[in-house]
Amino acid sequence: MYSMDNKTVIVTGASGGIGRESARRFAAEGANVVVADVAEEEGQETVDLIEEDDGEATFIQTDVSSDDDVASMVDETVEIYGSLDAAHNNAGILTEMGPLTELDESDWDALLDVNTKGIWLGMKHEIPAMADNGGGSIVNTASEAGLVGFPMAAGYVASKHGVVGLTRTAALEYADDGIRINAVCPGPIETPMTAGLEDDQREAEIADIPMSRMGEPEEIANAAVWLCSDEASFVTGHPLSVDGGRVTD
């Protein structure tokens, strides 16, 4: 649908959930995909799934909160495939939730290190590689929590608001370099992150979604691939809600 033939794409957090489906969808559209994650076994499983479908993929173990790791990830990508055309900076975590005044400092630091610093580091190293190649496209995974507040989730909300702010700012700074930068903002999605919800929690989430269901990872992957494709050639700096209508303002 959105041809990515002969293009090279990095997907971080690609060992499962949204990242795995994004990597598979990019590969299905003809891209060479770098599967980046801290989890080696699960990341290689993503590569295997892509190769079973006759796609091209390589696993690079990466801690997105490490400048050295992210720099190496981009350098290895260019060394293997010759260029970098697109990236889906998707890696993210969710720690214990609770009132703001009761949050643990280590949880706060972990959220900001992975969810926000990880996005900054990704763009820091991806943008120069794309500029050398004449342009490219980046999609950052934010969240509906990057657009509105949610009680009992101050650290996560702060980290994802940071992603939206970084996305908007980077889009302005690098538009002249032919690099489009957008964010996808998922609502509740059927991923390992939501698998632990109790029945009453799941029902409450669904009751708050106008489309009366949780989303599937493939639906976020579809949005990410579209934003990276030439079909979205005049879209930049945009946080795209994919949440069944839960956040409309």
Which of 2, 81, 156, 174 is catalytic? The answer is 156
Q: Are 142 and 185 in contact (CB under 8 A)?
A: yes
Task: State which H helix or E strand residue 88 sits in.
Answer: strand 86-89
Residues 6 or more apart from 205 whose CB is under 8 A from it? 188, 194, 197, 214
Q: Tokens 């006759």, residue?
A: 54
**Phi and psi at residue 12, in whole multiples of 5°?**
-95, 155
| 156 is an active site residue | yes
Q: Tokens 């990276």, residue?
A: 228
- Single out the residue of 161, 176, 184, 163 nearest to residue 117, CA to CA: 163
- Single out the residue of 212, 152, 159, 164 nearest to residue 188, CA to CA: 212
Q: Are 142 and 239 in contact (CB under 8 A)?
A: yes
Q: How many CB atoms lie within 10 A of CB 7?
A: 23
State the catalytic residues.
156
